[in-house]
Amino acid sequence: MAHLLVVEDDDTIGRALRSSLAVHGHDVVWCATGRDALEAGRVGVFDLVLLDLGLPDADGIDVCRDLRLTQPGAVLVMLTARDAEMDVIIGLEAGADDYLTKPVGLAELHARIYAHLRRVDTTLRSEPDDGDATAAVIGDLVIDLSARRVLAAGKEMPLRAKEFELLARLAAQPSAAVSRETLMTEVWDEHWHGSTKTLDVHIAALRRHLADLPVGTARPRITTLRGHGYRLDPPEPA
């Protein structure tokens, strides 16, 4: 059972979401305002947050940023009527991992939530075989798959859920080209039909994290392969 936070100001939609998600076995906290959502984020720990951006008392983007700080391990999914690409990019840069554009069918919503929770659950709960690697080491970066964290020169990088999964996927094949289609399928959803701009936003965030590492850190580089995808290259020789 997953612990979900639903932030939706429309009473009819909020009740329907809470009821439908509960039927699927989730423990759901429903908040109708940004203020209540932020308070819930301060006192609880959630596996996934479903956030409507059109809130009556706060800008949904600001709520998204604050929830990302209090819920660093949660998958944050925006539910929004703002379907312009720039609005989506702003939301993703504010800390969201995914977005769904209203109106959205319950079947699609449940499928997307299940896909996110399954990926997190598989990484956290699976026991690797004796011959399986539980960490990848590239330069001074240690990607700990079992603990879902990345250490750089002994200090943990503050990665969001999808940033970790994206870096881990690239690190699984260092120096190898990985297509955009492969990354979208394996890190997001094989049935994803939204803008793939989310991939570019998360790549940009990873590059910022790497650039922020202390001088002298042997950091890998994410190389863009135009028309194809990305490649994680080892640090350049000193």
- For 166-215, write each residue's pLDDT tens digit: 999 999 999 999 999 999 988 887 656 556 778 898 999 899 999 999 88
Rounded percentage of the chain residues whose pLDDT exceeds 90: 50
Cα separation, 81 vs 87, in Å, equals 10
pLDDT at residue number 16: 92
Q: Is the pLDDT of residue 133 over 70?
A: no
Q: What is the mean pLDDT of residues 59-72?
A: 91
Domains of the chain in sequence order:
3-125 (3.40.50.2300), 135-233 (1.10.10.10)
How far apart CA 204 and CA 210 sit, in angstroms, is 10
Which amino acid is it at 109? L
The label of the residue with tokens 């759901």 reads 28
Q: Would the pLDDT of 146 be above 50?
A: yes
Beta-bridged to residue 76, according to DSSP, are 49
H-assigned helices in the chain: 11-23, 34-43, 60-70, 85-93, 106-125, 161-171, 180-183, 197-211
Query: Does 7 have pLDDT greater than 90?
Result: yes
Mean pLDDT on 86-106 = 81
- Residues with Cβ within 8 Å of residue 103, at least 6 apart in sequence: none
Q: How far apart are CA 165 and CA 80, in angstroms?
A: 24
What does the pLDDT read at residue 99?
A: 82
Report d(CA 31, CA 184) in Å as an integer. Answer: 31
**C-alpha–C-alpha distance, residues 136 and 140, integer Å:** 11
The reported pLDDT for the residue numbered 130 is: 42
The mean pLDDT value for 28-43 works out to 96
pLDDT band of residue 124 (cuts 50, 70, 90) is very low
Query: Closest Cα partner for 112 from 94, 123, 97, 122?
Result: 97
DSSP designation for 59: B
SS3 230: strand
- Tell me the mean pLDDT in the region 68-79: 88
Question: Minimum mean pLDDT among 62-66, 116-120, 205-209: which range?
Answer: 116-120
**Which residues, in sequence order, are bridge partners of residue 80?**
101
